[in-house]
A = this chain, B = another copy of it.
Amino acid sequence: MSAYRALTEAEAIDYARQIPDLFQKDSELTSREIGDGNLNLVFHISEPSTGKSIILKQALPYAKVVGESWPLTLDRARIESEALMIQESLCPDLVPHVHAYEPELALTVMQDLSDHVIMRRGLMERNKYPLFASHIGTFLARTLFYTSDLGMNQQDKKEQVKRFINPELCKITEDLIFDDPYTDSPNNNVPPAIRDAVEAVWKDTELHLEVAILREKFLTQAQALIHGDLHTGSIFIKPDSTKVIDPEFAYYGPMGFDIGAVLANLLLNYAAQEGWSPDAASRQDYRNYLTQTIRDIWKKFDSEFRALWDEHGVDRMSKTPGYQDLYMKRLLQDTFGYAGCKIVRRVHGLAQVADINKLEDEAAKERAQRIALAIGTTLIKSHRKAESIEQMIEIAEKNVS
């Protein structure tokens, strides 16, 4: 990594110019740095004469979160670009295309998605995306099946596990999701209005036991190459297109962590409708859209994963009667548990979500936080008993009625 340097905008343009078959020779290119500067530089390079554009994403050798800064491996750029390429090979339309990856600069050149919006913002604006459930269900089914021992050569899979060992980024998850929210840690960011509810979480050893079980699985289960950070801020969307981005947390972990992340972020928005919806009827309408989306995602994932298994399963023993049903039930249970963990950490952990935090009405924000915390802790506590996605929807609905 000795040749690494953070690019200037001029250098980014020079780099983009060298990429074959992209821009016209000697044409004018413009650059705009659109990253938040906390983890990565993101250059939007465009060619006004043709309207073509491209993204250069360069990892920075540190992370900044809420004012603090710590060193962070540049190897995450390799992991991100390799994960994107694997995902593209499995679901060509559901991730940005990678044009090039430059290891020395920790630089990935990829498709510009400026015509999409970040899904979190789309949900805060109460947009509906009727194709999203099918898109993300397919993304989950294909990326998780084909990178697991069910869908790929089991010896090649072990080499892939090795390539995606990702200690530094896993450590962030292990601390911020599976530890800090359950104790009075300085990393938490406790909203004063709900301190009583947060303190109850810190004392709830029945809850901690379930979190310990989910944490163990996150630490040990090399089940599939998961995205590792699949919240609605990692999804670019427009009505006819869904693109999953930013898999720098990718590693071999439990499938339910990815599925749970998607559903958790829908449920966080569900809770936040306390403040976004202008009236009770529209609130109910949008919440119904969100719960229907949760149902549709699971159903699409479940049916497509089973179909892949039946048609493309590589493991003779996995065809044993009863095994697939048991496996899918365990995935559902993991999904409940991880969805719960992903919700809880967004209420009073270090990194929270705009769905809730951008609410201006303090009473609505407090209601949203309490609802989210109740849904999250209930999902965690019930995860080993879950039998159907309908139970997740019931838990959500019960906590707003």
Task: Using known A-B contacts A174-B154, A322-B209, A323-B213, determine if residue A317 contacts B167 with beta carbons closer than 8 Å.
Answer: no
Q: Which positions 207-234 of chain A face chain B at CB distance < 8 Å?
A: 208-209, 211-213, 215-216, 219-223
- Chain B contacts of A211 at CB under 8 A? 317, 320
Which of A85-93, A158-166, A359-367, A374-382 lies at the binding interface?
Answer: A158-166
CB contact between A167 and one of B159, B208, B209, B216 (< 8 Å): that residue: B159
The complex places the Cα of A382 from the Cα of B346 at a distance, in Å, of 41
A360–chain B nearest beta-carbon distance, Å: 36
- Chain B contacts of A18 at CB under 8 A? none
CB contact between A320 and one of B167, B205, B318 (< 8 Å): that residue: B205
What is the size, in residues, of chain A's interface with B at 8 Å between Cβ atoms?
42
- Chain B contacts of A205 at CB under 8 A? 320-322
Per DSSP, are chain A's interface residues mostly helix, strand or loop, or mixed? Answer: helix
Task: Using known A-B contacts A158-B167, A165-B158, determine if residue A317 contacts B212 with beta carbons closer than 8 Å.
Answer: yes
> Which B residue's beta carbon lies closest to that of A156?
B167
**A171 within 8 Å of B (CB atoms):** yes
Task: Using known A-B contacts A213-B323, A223-B220, A326-B213, determine if residue A155 contacts B171 with beta carbons closer than 8 Å.
Answer: yes
A349–chain B nearest beta-carbon distance, Å: 15
8 A-B residue pairings within 8 Å (CB atoms): A149-B220, A158-B165, A159-B167, A182-B317, A208-B317, A212-B318, A212-B320, A220-B221
14 additional contacts (CB under 8 A) given A149-B219, A155-B171, A159-B165: A149-B216, A159-B167, A162-B162, A162-B165, A178-B317, A179-B316, A183-B316, A205-B321, A209-B321, A209-B326, A213-B326, A215-B317, A216-B327, A221-B222
